[in-house]
Amino acid sequence: MKNSLICILLAASLLASPIYANEQQTQAHLKTLLGELLQLEQQLDARKQDSHSIVPGSKYRIKPGDSLGDITKRAYGETNIKLGLVMDLIISNNPHAFFRSNANFIYADKVISIPSVDDFRAMLFTGDTDSLLNDSADKSQWIRFP
């Protein structure tokens, strides 16, 4: 699931890129992604807090009648981030609150952590990406296009 989230987040910036991106193009895409995360952080700081909003990076106790979509909208609704990504990250970080990782089956009275912008950064920029790009990487599972 983590790899699919990374692919979705990078898809917008990589759509216009050539098949074989050089280091300069890769750096440009990373700067764009980091800029989008910074913009998200600024949007969260600038929004008005009301009694129904949920602060990203906090804990939230699920109430009877809550849905994951409502929780996500209350935390990230006024931002540019795709709410489906937030839902996927909430599910992956809080598996105890969902029956079989299904967003439609959420347990009431469970405490979940709402992802912060730093959680998105950690999700995107973990692992040794240099090993994926060098020539000695195992490419047997890669999809190849003619």
Mean of per-residue pLDDT scores for the chain: 76
Element (H, E) at 89: helix 83-93
DSSP helix/strand/coil, 133: helix
What's the CA gap between 118 and 121, in Å, rounded? 5
CB 75 within 8 A of CB 94: no
Q: What's the pLDDT score for residue 37?
A: 77
Specify the pTM: 0.63
Please indicate whether residue 116 or residue 40 has the higher confidence score (pLDDT). Answer: 116
Task: Assess whether pLDDT exceeds 60 at residue 19.
Answer: no
Phi-psi region of 65 (alpha: psi -120 to 50; beta: other; left: phi over 0): left
Q: What average pLDDT score do residues 97-115 get?
A: 93
What's the CA gap between 68 and 74, in Å, rounded? 10
